[in-house]
């Protein structure tokens, strides 16, 4: 007897569907929300999953992705009240086999089931995929804060962990920066991969502590089955490997980098263009104290630029001009040139994640500290024709309300410009998909 799992928050309609399946001799499992559906699916391995699109706790898209990571051949049919083409495409990209629009009559459903189910007995193959394979590029924020972790009730909305962003693209797991957000990412990876090896690539922007402090707490580094590749540029005073090892010296931490059981290779980059599998990476030195690099990843589903710490040149250069130094005209010309090169580097990026630590008022007091301001990143995104801008490296003094206000201010600036740039503040735990064209919070 084949098993069907019905995931639907409307109890009445779930019961009606269950009756139809019961008459056709199916064994039936029921879940009233997305999360319950995911856990039932992973526990009971049903042959067929019928899933509503809009539900509490996890949408049909999220259900598809979570289930697809573990169950390859269970068939998933999304049933939605909406008939938008983009919903259909997104559902299929998330792993659904079919997308049907309500109301669905039993005859139609039977026909679809016969088409998607492997004949004759719906033989189910389960088990982990050899590699994480999704048809889209996924960006997930694990740490969005600058300078120092700030947990607490006033930052719970956007999150208190420092810089760490995960990119899944073309079969690769690329981790941008290893701030305190890396800890939770490590736990999630171990949970997802189980006994399978995890082989992520960590791309480090620079070695300021808020960008590397998660490494000692990265769970996959403590498991022999895994191999980590760490890439970055030489620091101002020491090599990358030396700096990463030094934060784990006995005075600071009980386990040395050398003693972590996974295979860890640290490669100091020399070139500004290289590849991680099929993902093309371009690097660019940023305006930040010491050596700091921004990355632009080109994946088969779009591009992601990550500039976690960067100060605009405009005011900085002007403040450095004056008697006995460079003159104002020279300073202005230098700033304009540096900015236009950055615009070129970012041109047409789908997702830009960039240092927007300060409001314009705060920045005026903090020129030379190495961080960005709202109007400067918005104008950069507009000039570079970026599709979606994520404000990042939030100031530790900014609570959720302050960040909400910053997002509003940034959106006003975009509106005034008349350009189609979407603006969000990066939020811990949120994901954005390229290819599926949707954001999930």
For Zn ion, the closer CB: 143 or 435: 143
What is the nearest approach in angstroms of Zn ion to the Cβ of residue 209?
8
Whether the CB-CB separation of 382 and 375 falls below 8 Å is answered with no
What is the nearest approach in angstroms of Zn ion to the Cβ of residue 355?
8
Whether the CB-CB separation of 243 and 233 falls below 8 Å is answered with no
What is the nearest approach in angstroms of Zn ion to the Cβ of residue 206?
6
Contacts of 140 (CB under 8 A, 6+ apart): 165, 166, 167, 168, 185, 429, 430, 431
Closest CA to 192 of 263, 136, 126, 128: 128
Q: Stretches 272-280, 304-312, 315-323, 332-340: which one binds Zn ion (CB under 5 A)? A: 304-312
Closest CA to 7 of 53, 62, 74, 44: 53
Q: Stretches 101-109, 136-144, 309-317, 425-433: which one binds Zn ion (CB under 5 A)? A: 309-317
For Zn ion, the closer CB: 2 or 269: 269
Could you tell me the CA-to-CA distances from 429 to 109, 143, 161, 432 in Å, in that order? 35, 8, 11, 10
Cis before 103? omega within 30: yes
For Zn ion, the closer CB: 113 or 230: 230
What is the nearest approach in angstroms of Zn ion to the Cβ of residue 354?
12
For Zn ion, the closer CB: 286 or 432: 286
What is the nearest approach in angstroms of Zn ion to the Cβ of residue 290?
7
Q: Stretches 25-33, 72-80, 139-147, 310-318: which one binds Zn ion (CB under 5 A)? A: 139-147
Q: Stretches 123-131, 149-157, 246-254, 308-316: which one binds Zn ion (CB under 5 A)? A: 308-316
Closest CA to 202 of 235, 230, 179, 183: 230
Asked if residue 394 binds Zn ion (CB under 5 A), the reply is: no
For Zn ion, the closer CB: 138 or 206: 206
What is the nearest approach in angstroms of Zn ion to the Cβ of residue 63?
36
Q: Which residue has the tokens 């999150």?
A: 159
Question: Which residue in 14, 138, 183, 208 binds Zn ion (CB under 5 A)?
Answer: 208
For Zn ion, the closer CB: 22 or 236: 236
For Zn ion, the closer CB: 180 or 349: 180
Q: Stretches 129-137, 203-211, 379-387, 427-435: which one binds Zn ion (CB under 5 A)? A: 203-211
For Zn ion, the closer CB: 146 or 312: 146
What is the nearest approach in angstroms of Zn ion to the Cβ of residue 335?
21
Q: Stretches 9-17, 96-104, 206-214, 216-224: which one binds Zn ion (CB under 5 A)? A: 206-214
Element (H, E) at 141: strand 137-143
Please give the Cα distance from 33 to 51 (Å, whole number).
Answer: 9
Q: If DSSP codes are grouped into helix, strand and coil, which group holds residue 405?
A: helix
Closest CA to 240 of 206, 271, 264, 217: 206
What is the nearest approach in angstroms of Zn ion to the Cβ of residue 243?
13
DSSP 181-237: THHHHHHHHHHHHTTS----EEEPS--SGGGTTTGGG-GGGG-TT-EEEEEE---SS
For Zn ion, the closer CB: 181 or 435: 181
Question: Which residue in 37, 60, 95, 146 binds Zn ion (CB under 5 A)?
Answer: 146
How many residues does this entry show for the chain?
A: 441
What is the nearest approach in angstroms of Zn ion to the Cβ of residue 147?
6
What is the nearest approach in angstroms of Zn ion to the Cβ of residue 204?
11
Cis before 120? omega within 30: yes
Whether the CB-CB separation of 132 and 68 falls below 8 Å is answered with no
C-alpha angle with apex 326: 330 to 335, nearest 5 degrees? 40
Asked if residue 309 binds Zn ion (CB under 5 A), the reply is: yes
Question: Which residue in 210, 314, 399, 431 binds Zn ion (CB under 5 A)?
Answer: 210
Asked if residue 65 binds Zn ion (CB under 5 A), the reply is: no
Q: Stretches 22-30, 102-110, 149-157, 303-311: which one binds Zn ion (CB under 5 A)? A: 303-311
Residue nearest to Zn ion (CB): 208
Q: Stretches 167-175, 307-315, 316-324, 411-419: which one binds Zn ion (CB under 5 A)? A: 307-315
Please give the Cα distance from 279 to 293 (Å, whole number).
Answer: 18
What is the nearest approach in angstroms of Zn ion to the Cβ of residue 164?
11
For Zn ion, the closer CB: 60 or 149: 149
Closest CA to 6 of 25, 24, 36, 82: 36
Whether the CB-CB separation of 412 and 374 falls below 8 Å is answered with no
Chain residues that interact with Zn ion, rule: CB under 5 A = 146, 208, 210, 309
């Amino acid at each position: 007897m084949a098993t069907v799992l019905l995931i639907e928050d409307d109890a009445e309609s779930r019961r009606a569907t269950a009756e139809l399946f019961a008459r056709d001799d199916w064994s039936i499992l029921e879940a009233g929300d997305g999360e319950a559906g995911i856990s039932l699916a992973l526990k009971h391995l049903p042959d067929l999953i019928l899933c509503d699109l809009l539900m509490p706790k996890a949408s049909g898209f999220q259900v598809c992705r979570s289930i697809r990571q573990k169950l390859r051949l269970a068939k998933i049919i999304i049933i939605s009240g909406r008939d938008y083409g983009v919903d259909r495409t997104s559902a299929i990209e998330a792993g659904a086999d079919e997308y049907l629009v309500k109301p669905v009559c039993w005859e139609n459903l039977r026909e679809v089931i016969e088409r998607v189910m492997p004949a004759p007995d719906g033989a189910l193959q389960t088990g982990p995929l050899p590699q994480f394979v999704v048809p889209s590029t996924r960006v997930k924020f694990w740490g969005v804060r600058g300078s120092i972790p700030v947990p607490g009730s006033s930052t719970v909305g956007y999150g208190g962990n420092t810089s760490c962003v995960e990119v899944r693209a073309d079969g690769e797991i690329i981790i941008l920066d290893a701030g305190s957000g890396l800890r939770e990412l490590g736990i999630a990876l171990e949970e997802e991969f189980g006994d399978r090896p995890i082989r992520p690539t960590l791309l480090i922007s620079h070695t300021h502590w808020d960008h590397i402090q998660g490494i000692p707490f990265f769970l996959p580094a403590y498991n022999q089955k895994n191999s980590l590749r760490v890439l970055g540029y030489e620091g101002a005073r020491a090599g990358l490997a030396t700096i990463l090892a030094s934060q784990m010296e006995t005075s600071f931490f009980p386990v040395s980098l050398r003693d972590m059981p996974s295979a860890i290779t640290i490669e100091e980059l020399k070139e500004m263009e290289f590849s991680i599998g099929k993902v093309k990476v371009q690097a660019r030195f940023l305006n930040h104290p010491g050596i700091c690099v921004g990355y632009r990843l080109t994946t088969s589903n779009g591009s992601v630029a990550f500039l976690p710490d960067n100060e605009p040149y405009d005011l900085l250069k002007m403040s450095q001009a004056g008697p006995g130094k460079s003159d104002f005209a020279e300073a202005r010309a230098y700033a304009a040139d540096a900015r236009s090169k950055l615009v070129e580097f970012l041109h047409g990026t789908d997702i830009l994640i960039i240092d927007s630590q300060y409001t314009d008022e705060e920045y005026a007091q903090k020129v030379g500290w190495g961080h960005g301001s709202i109007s400067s990143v918005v104008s950069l995104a507009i000039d570079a024709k970026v599709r979606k801008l994520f404000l990042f490296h939030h100031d530790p003094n900014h609570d959720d309300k302050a960040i909400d206000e910053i997002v509003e201010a940034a959106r006003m600036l975009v509106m005034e410009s008349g350009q189609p740039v979407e603006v969000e503040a990066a939020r811990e735990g949120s994901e954005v998909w390229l290819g599926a064209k949707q954001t999930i919070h």
